[in-house]
Structure 1
């Protein structure tokens, strides 16, 4: 089995809906995303011969995904009143709306799915909220 690993990070704010504790309040993280690819055989032809995939393609794809969230307020759809969202937008805040609760677990699944949809042989994604705490999603 062959594998590759790369990582990217983004700084973003969020809060957890229906949570009773510190994380129900708006706060931020330096989210660190580590992605793993895995496949049985190396490619046999062309410019990617004897590779799982070109690291540049893998790194670029993950970087593009994380860059979309960088320095934004990540908001679960339906978690804030429309007038609150309108006020934030009017004030010029960068909002990233997502259809899931903004947990590290859901971010790990999200990044996994996006990489898989792009054709990468992704096997696992780790998402760190802090240097010592991460969530893992495996397909």
Structure 2
């Protein structure tokens, strides 16, 4: 089995709905997303012959996803009132509305799904909330 790994970081804010602790309040993280690819075989021909994937292509895809999530407020769909969302947007805040609770676990799964949709053979995503704590999603 062959594998590749790259990572990218992004800064964003979030809060956890229906959580009883510090994380129910708005706060931010320097998220670190580590993406692993895995393939039983290397590509047979073309410019990526004898590679799982070109590192440049891999890094661009991961960094583009990190850029989408960088310096935005990650909001669970339905967790804030329409009036609150409208007020934040009117103030010029960047909002990313997601159809799930914005936990590290769900963000790891989201990254895996988004990159897999682009044809990357993702096997695992590690989503670090802090330097010492991460959630792992395996495809």
Structure-1-length-normalised TM-score: 0.99
Q: Hey, what does 1:15 align to over in structure 2? A: 15
In the TM superposition, what is the alpha-carbon distance from 1:46 to its structure 2 partner? 1.0
Q: Hey, what does 1:98 align to over in structure 2? A: 98
Equivalence map 1:96-135=2 (5 Å)? 96-135=96-135
**Within 2, Cα distance between the matches of 1:46 and 1:94?**
40
**Within 1, Cα distance between the matches of 2:8 and 2:108?**
13
**Within 2, Cα distance between the matches of 1:36 and 1:83?**
40
Q: Which deviations, in whole Å up to 9, do the C-alpha atoms of 1:77-112 show, x marking residues without a partner?
A: 100010000000011111111001000000000000
Whether 1:77 and 2:77 are equivalent positions in the alignment is yes
Structure-2-length-normalised TM-score: 0.99
Q: Hey, what does 1:51 align to over in structure 2? A: 51
**Within 1, Cα distance between the matches of 2:119 and 2:93?**
33
- RMSD value over aligned CA atoms? 0.5
Instruction: List gaps (5 residues or longer) in structure 1.
Output: none
Q: Hey, what does 1:32 align to over in structure 2? A: 32
Instruction: List gaps (5 residues or longer) in structure 2.
Output: none
In the TM superposition, what is the alpha-carbon distance from 1:69 to its structure 2 partner? 1.0
**Within 2, Cα distance between the matches of 1:39 and 1:69?**
27
- Runs of 4+ aligned structure 1 residues displaced above 3 Å come to none
**Within 2, Cα distance between the matches of 1:116 and 1:60?**
14
In the TM superposition, what is the alpha-carbon distance from 1:41 to its structure 2 partner? 0.9
